[in-house]
Structure 1
């Protein structure tokens, strides 16, 4: 790469997925081009967060890998489709009625990794403790809320608990009060859970220690909820539960009542568009996951050249095991990974590439925009379209008639941000030109 090209400091991401069809232009493996030394890089990430799958990995204080994912699927379908991502299976059937759809069957199926009580399991993109398991009848899952320690009495969210008696270090008798009235007496063994009556909480007896004559009890508080066969899922009135061993099936009772865009727990399903022949319906399906991984010593691969390495410390109990994250053999405290890979491309190679391009920034901040300025449908300068304004335009690549260039350029940084927001909010049809103006921190209007 030449020295002048290096000075351009291009930040280019080759994205393996395509933009949603509602976006209005065909883009296979688009390249997003922006000057990484400008605020435009932040705008590029704002655009990518809305259209591209993203995964964030970080090591938490418990030496676990915390993974947050936002996965986007762009699905063409005739009358049904399913998505199986090795975590769960989403299945949707529908009928077309003109430029609308009527959902006929919507269900989700997932199998727990374990049926051993006390194990951590993932469900619908989150990590839970498996608190109770009765085959084909009931499953109780819990979200950890807080660690608690006490010498015998403690209070949480208006619920008062008092350790009444203990049998060695393994069994406790605990009185439960609410509003000064005793509501329950529970027996709890170390390593077990007990549901707190008339509440959404469950208590886990973690450990017991003594310091002199003073006892110390250690608990974990969980927000728990039940999955019971034939009942409705928590806080819903039409998402029915069916249990089959470790397999959990959630089925919408009245799918025909669902709107074009609806949420199903950690899924958002929406209709993007119909194809020109009105045979195919294009859907956007977004799923959010958040889970923790406690890995063994060694190396674990997460895809896209991302690895975690754990080194166990067996010699000194005062030091924790070491856990590191790597991408492309470089160590990071936190990795933000979009679906795709980062590349540096020479400017001349870029404009002759077969990929469609998305240029963010006007000719002053983005040298690639400057190089095709004479080919723009609308010239963007410091004076036009003016302060806080920008132009979204789609042109044919002047160096390659087979590819398309989408330009998001403003007279200033606010104008460029307005272009990105307008695109995210669906104000641009996908062709021609649109002048937009930033009207607030996250609001924009078309002019």
Structure 2
């Protein structure tokens, strides 16, 4: 099924800086009409003077292009000043739906199917891995139906980017499981009982053909955002995750500045006394120059202070033994997942054991090498007598819907989610299965101009006849209905052979100019978008 974006905005944070999500390098596009004049007028008096329109059925690449343009325009909406630091918040809203399954046929005297499970992931291959485990553990069922992929569920392509554990490039992905129980009569009603719905974030092999072990430092998705695992605590039974800030090597005596007065310092590195021993590292977290947390131990070292997490994976000295280095992961926004406890109302958090297919509240109960991820399991009251047009929310994230189809019932999953993510310069985040990178500060700013309206909408929410400002249409006539209107009227010429193109249709939007950003395929559209960004 197609994914669409409803609104995309770029907003300054901290009353300080702005930034844009840009790719490096030069991009070229064919220009039709007065593109330069249009580009010069996208911001007027500090406010956006255009709306960005992306197709309801646009591909993910078009959606990201629209987000990049929105971020760039957002970076221009500020008064001038001196840039000393940079950060931005990008707001993304996305929706998608899975395949559906004909669960109930009203006029066939069909007994309501009993005990059938439905699953969806961002890639159908993950469904196959789950189904291959068969009915067992905490995932039992009489029948199971894969509803294909749900595009906006999040996938991580390489859980171990620094190869702390191996070079296999394993993946991680979100999976949603819902089991419905029928009454074996012809009433078309179903129950979803306590424990029969699960949101799962699990680690998979690079080939997407098996579950894999989750390890310290691995990146996993959790409710639409990417996190790094910094601690699995066997004593207090929790798993701690956070947002990556730094992943690399710090020299002995040096530190990494987290901002807000916090730094992480490698105070000393000591070589092991024996050839097979582990080095010892003294790592500190400081606030305004004063030590607030410290550990001096052999690697691997795990330390959490407030919402800051640190993992020192390994350390070594240079050839002359003059100084040492520490391989370190630093995260912020730490979330402690207390196993067996309610994480959000009616949903409890558990460790996922892929060997036994069980959800465990005690880390010690997980089988050897079986820890594969984390799960939220429904712990609320049984939802009884669900029928056509009823729905069930999974962890306030995904909706399981019993869709009315002329009194028949189709089962499917839907998502309609909004996320705001903050980025520093050079930082990359994965949100709702779209990767966004903040490459540079592209404006001088001191004070943000408040945005009074979103600067991106769907083609179903916009109209050429009702426009009150200029429009930027992302995507060609196949994926963007407004571009199709212009093409039908002979105002633009875009087909599947077109290069990256920036085309102005003067006065076509209720007297306002329209800029079409498109090409013959998704890659060409992306190139056209980057060319426009370079112009702004």
| TM-score normalised over the length of structure 2 | 0.37
Higher strand proportion (structure 1 or 2)? 1
TM-score w.r.t. structure 1 length? 0.42
Q: Which one scores higher on RCO, CA 8 angstroms, separation ≥ 6?
A: 2
Between Structure 1 and Structure 2, whose CA radius of gyration is higher? 1
